[in-house]
Amino acid sequence: LLTVSSALVALQSCQCLAWKPHPVVEWGAQSQHVVAGYSDGTVRVFSVSRTEMELKMQPHAVALTAIAYSADGEMILSGGKDGLVAVSSPRTGMTVRVLADHRGSPVTVLQCTRKQYRDFGVAGGELWLATSSDRRVSVWAADWLKDTCELLDWLSFPAPAGPKGHGSLPPSLAAFCPWEPGTLVYVGFGVEREALFYSLRKKQVVGKISLPYFATSLSLSPAAPFIAVGFGERLLRLLRCPASDAQDYAGHDDAVHLCRFAPSGRRLLTASHSTVLVWEVTGG
């Protein structure tokens, strides 16, 4: 895949990647796909099994900053440096919806999760969220087959005056909480260095965990109540909830800009400037 993508997209840089959920199995073989967002505003879908690009779309006029598949894998959500979020179909190659709610601030996170019908009084088979670098989070309920997408909640987190320019501030990051349905976790530049738990049902912050620094990366385990938080101080912290027990780990050569739990929750991948580490997660 690396060889194919570098040959096909030699003049553009890849800004974000996402795996397609639930690979389709045909005749005993897995058909895996990955979607990539590029600096020229294009989205490309690659087949891992065939090591080739299958689709190219251009839903954006600026560089992409976040990308995700919908929970059912039928749609691709992409966010740009200008704050626009596009919803595109990998089957037709068409962009079916563009959302401008985060316009003016780069999209930092896109995430989708399944939900039960009418969990929050709205129709749709999944929830998805978008986070932008100005500390805003929007949460949506969607039914892609019926072409419906409804805003469920809008969060805006306060912060003191900071240095000018988004690049000089810690990123705004949010994720749905796998072990607490209807809850999301947020970290970002703010009044305090903390992780916030926000309930979509109660429409309020229901918990806080103090952090030693402002976070640069965030991941929640899908299998156990663990949160991984990376910091610019070359530190990784593993938090067990709700007790908030914390374990700190060194070993990175720079800011921990990426941490990601495996689907099993038993491994954690972290990355800094030139170091990629794989951790074994014990306990449950």
User: What is the overall mean pLDDT for the chain?
Assistant: 88
Place of tokens 């006029």: 61
User: pLDDT tens digits for 92-124?
Assistant: 999 999 999 999 999 999 999 987 656 777 777
* Selected residue with higher pLDDT from 82 and 31: 82
User: pLDDT tens digits for 237-257?
Assistant: 999 987 778 999 998 999 999
Q: 19 in a domain, yes or no?
A: no
Q: Report the C-alpha gap between 203 and 193 in whole angstroms.
A: 21
CATH (domain of 251) = 2.130.10.10
Task: Provide the total of helices (H) and of strands (E) in the chain, helices listed first.
Answer: 1, 25
pTM: 0.89
Angle at 260 between CA 170 and CA 62, to 5 degrees: 55
Q: 162 in a domain, yes or no?
A: yes
What is the model's pLDDT at position 21? 87
For residue 142, the tally of other CB atoms under 10 A from its CB is 26
pLDDT at 71 over 60: yes
Compute CA distances 259 → 58, 59, 141, 198, whole Å.
28, 27, 26, 21
Tokens describing residue 243:
């007790």
* Total domain count, the chain: 1
Tokens describing residue 147:
């072409």
Q: Report the C-alpha gap between 177 and 195 in whole angstroms.
A: 12
Q: 47 in a domain, yes or no?
A: no
3-state secondary structure at position 15: strand
Q: 24 in a domain, yes or no?
A: no
User: pLDDT tens digits for 39-70?
Assistant: 999 999 998 888 889 999 999 999 999 999 99
Rounded percentage of the chain residues whose pLDDT exceeds 70: 89
pLDDT at 166 over 70: no
Print burial letters for 28-41: b (CB count within 10 Å at least 16), e (below 16): eeeeebbbbbbbbb
Angle at 261 between CA 259 and CA 265, to 5 degrees: 155
**In which band, very low, low, confident or very high, does the pLDDT at 28 lie, cut at 50, 70 and 90?**
very low
Q: Which domain holds residue 189?
A: 157-283
Q: 259 in a domain, yes or no?
A: yes
Q: What is the DSSP string of 216-282?
A: EEEEE-SSSSEEEEEETTS-EEEEETTTTEEEEE---SS---EEEE-TTSSEEEEE-SS-EEEEE--
**In which band, very low, low, confident or very high, does the pLDDT at 138 lie, cut at 50, 70 and 90?**
very high
Angle at 259 between CA 257 and CA 262, to 5 degrees: 155
Q: Report the C-alpha gap between 104 and 86 in whole angstroms.
A: 15
Q: 205 in a domain, yes or no?
A: yes
**In which band, very low, low, confident or very high, does the pLDDT at 153 lie, cut at 50, 70 and 90?**
very high
Q: 81 in a domain, yes or no?
A: no
pLDDT at 25 over 60: no
3-state secondary structure at position 89: coil
Q: Report the C-alpha gap between 266 and 85 in whole angstroms.
A: 32
Rounded percentage of the chain residues whose pLDDT exceeds 90: 69
* Selected residue with higher pLDDT from 151 and 242: 151
Q: 188 in a domain, yes or no?
A: yes
User: pLDDT tens digits for 201-238?
Assistant: 999 999 999 999 999 999 999 989 999 999 999 999 99
